[in-house]
Amino acid sequence: MLVERRRNALPFDFLIRVGAAWVIICALLVAINWSAMETLRFPDGDDTLRLVQVRDLLGGQSWFDVTQYRADAPNGGVLMHWARLVDIPIALVILILTPLLGTANAELAALVAVPLITLGLAMVLAARIAWRLLGDEETNFTALIVALSVPVITQLAPLRIDHHGWQLVFILATLNGLMARSAIQGGLVIGGSLAALLAISVEGLPISVIFCAVLALRWLREPKERAWLVHTMQALALISVALFLATRGASDLVAHCDAISLPHLGIFAWGALALGVLARLEPVPMAVRLVGMGATAAGALGFVLWASPQCASGGGFAELDPLVHDYWYIHVMEGMPVWLQSLDVALQYAVVPFIGLYAAISLAGRSRDWLRGFWRDYALVLAGAILVSLLVARAGAAACLIAAPPLAWQLNQWLRALRTMKSPLPRVAGLVAVACALMPTLPLTLADLLIPASQAAPRASAAGQLKESNCHIAASSGVLNSLEPGEAFVPLHAGPQVLAFSHHSVIATSHHRGNTAMKAVIEMAMAPADEARAMMAARGTQYVFVCPNLIEPRNYAYAAPQGFMADLIEDRAPEWLQPVEAAEGTTLKIWKVAY
């Protein structure tokens, strides 16, 4: 039977344990990503554009203005949905180190240091749960599980400066809030963490609803626990308003579906007010409590339908042009359900969370008093996170992190059982099973080693082929910047790199708020060359930059074999394109448009 053992929050011994693991993992990640760091091959276009946004901020663009003016410049740029919160640590590192290292080296330091610091925070917050509630060995195993989780490390590796890593940190901070000794302290931590999570990205809404639902169940089970949900909603409402004013100000009061805006703030305020009133009516019968919570939820839904009906129908992505949806959105695999992923990706996102859920349920069954309730709530949160990750694959990193502490306990139980086995064969089989639980793709890796490459079924994803391409736009920055600044026709996924490594503008990047310009890029790519030229002339587009071996251009060429992109890939560039010699070692092709 497990009993209460909430130890000191951050003792020196704990920090030494986690710190040592963090240093080792950081060294490995730097070594693995050394080549990418040298050539500035960002893992994703969002990371590249994040650097561009920080540069714009440091270059004098308003704190409250997150418009990307070099995307769809003829129409005033694209107002991004990204929050400034994520820009702060990157900008601070650059500002502090620039006098010492110069701008380029200071930027590289920020690109490496900020993700690794985020990793350290995630490791501390995950291991802290094991430290306070489980034991020393479980603390060590939690750090190990975080390090071995591909979905987690992918979001926290060097150059990964986009917002996903900070989302993981604030989800773990919310989990730590569930361990608080008082409802006031816990509500402040939970509500504040959720407010920061949502300010960074509205993608955090599903997990926020899950946490609030778990606290509502606490209240339904025991009326004395009502303060948890009330204080959480109050903190969420107040801190959300403060973060909105601090990062958005009054410059953008439009009702957005893809970022926290006035309708969201109204919902939070309504929830805090309605639940506060309901709490003051206690004690009341269970039926009254249920009706009150139902009325609060119905009021929030009604407010959404009244204030921003477009959000109720799916929001920003639902408003995409069908062409953009078919040739861009459905190819962003991290936003697709798990069952559409390749087998190796699906295993990485699903196996660890489900084992962690089993372990959390087991912990609840073996615990008593407060600890039983905590692990029961923990299992509910993890189950909800798993459900979200099944629908949106990139949410699997959060599920893997939440699963780490209970999985660490389960791993310790398994290893103890293996130590008692006298026969070596079952022990070896058990160790292999444990390894497969921690590294779900291990059987596939072993199969790849045993099966000849010619007989193996291909499992490479589009993302993998993009990363393996030698389209290094950064290597061609000298050539690009020797040309007069102008707008370039560039495939959507390569747009951020052109913005980061040249002074040119682009028609569009792969970001949904530029829906109209994204449609223009796709139409040009698939139209006959003369029609593409006419569309470029209408915009004043001056250049064409294309890497023929990337997936996106080949998708256009496959869909329109006689189209403009197909001509470029098949070396049938029209006469009105004047070739410019690119740098060696890159497949980038550069043309100047002749009018």
Distance between CA atoms of residues 579 and 587, nearest Å: 13
Q: Are 184 and 140 in contact (CB under 8 A)?
A: no
Q: What average pLDDT does the segment 194-217 reach?
A: 95
Predicted confidence at residue 254, as pLDDT, reads 78
The residue with greater pLDDT, 19 or 439, is 19
Residue whose C-alpha is closest to residue 13's, from 128, 164, 109: 128
Q: Is the sign of the CA dihedral 17, 19, 24, 26 positive or negative?
A: positive
| Contacts of residue 322, Cβ cutoff 8 Å, sequence gap at least 6 | none
Q: Are 338 and 393 in contact (CB under 8 A)?
A: yes
Q: Are 386 and 399 in contact (CB under 8 A)?
A: yes
| Average pLDDT value over all residues in the chain | 89
Distance between CA atoms of residues 392 and 338, nearest Å: 7
Distance between CA atoms of residues 125 and 10, nearest Å: 10
Instruction: Express the helix, strand and coil content of the chain in percent, nearest 5 each.
Output: 70, 5, 25
DSSP helix/strand/coil, 367? strand
Q: How many CA atoms lie within 13 A of 162 on its CB side?
A: 15
Please give the helix or strand (H or E) that residue 247 lies within, else none. Answer: helix 226-247
Predicted confidence at residue 347, as pLDDT, reads 87
| Contacts of residue 153, Cβ cutoff 8 Å, sequence gap at least 6 | 29, 119, 146, 147
Q: Are 62 and 77 in contact (CB under 8 A)?
A: no
Residue whose C-alpha is closest to residue 169's, from 264, 80, 85, 267: 85
With 0-12 / 13-18 / 19 or more C-beta atoms within 10 angstroms meaning exposed / middle / buried, residue 250 is exposed
At residue 159 the predicted structure's pLDDT band, cuts being 50, 70 and 90, is very high
Q: What average pLDDT does the segment 557-583 reach?
A: 92
Q: Are 532 and 568 in contact (CB under 8 A)?
A: no
Q: What average pLDDT does the segment 497-507 reach?
A: 96
At residue 3 the predicted structure's pLDDT band, cuts being 50, 70 and 90, is low
Predicted confidence at residue 463, as pLDDT, reads 36
Phi and psi at residue 137, to the nearest 5°: -65, -40
Q: Are 303 and 321 in contact (CB under 8 A)?
A: no
Query: Tokens for 119?
Result: 């990793």
pLDDT digits (tens, 9 = 90+) for 401-457: 999 999 999 999 998 888 888 788 878 888 888 888 888 877 766 666 566 544 544
Cα angle 291, 296, 298; round to 5:
90
Query: Tokens for 354?
Result: 């489900």
Q: Where are the alpha helices (DSSP H) in 262-368?
A: 262-281, 286-307, 309-312, 322-327, 343-366
At residue 468 the predicted structure's pLDDT band, cuts being 50, 70 and 90, is very low
Predicted confidence at residue 451, as pLDDT, reads 62
Distance between CA atoms of residues 413 and 409, nearest Å: 6
- Helices 343-366/396-419 angle, 10° precision: 60
Predicted confidence at residue 333, as pLDDT, reads 83
DSSP helix/strand/coil, 593? strand
Predicted confidence at residue 255, as pLDDT, reads 79
- Helices 286-307/205-221 angle, 10° precision: 160
At residue 464 the predicted structure's pLDDT band, cuts being 50, 70 and 90, is very low
Distance between CA atoms of residues 595 and 593, nearest Å: 6
pLDDT at residue 253 is higher than 50: yes
Q: What is the pTM of this model?
A: 0.92
- Computed on alpha carbons and rounded to an integer, the radius of gyration of the chain in Å comes to 26
pLDDT digits (tens, 9 = 90+) for 531-555: 999 999 999 999 999 998 888 999 9
| Contacts of residue 72, Cβ cutoff 8 Å, sequence gap at least 6 | 78, 507, 508, 514, 516, 517
Residue whose C-alpha is closest to residue 65's, from 50, 48, 89, 82: 82
pLDDT digits (tens, 9 = 90+) for 70-101: 999 999 999 998 889 999 999 999 999 999 99
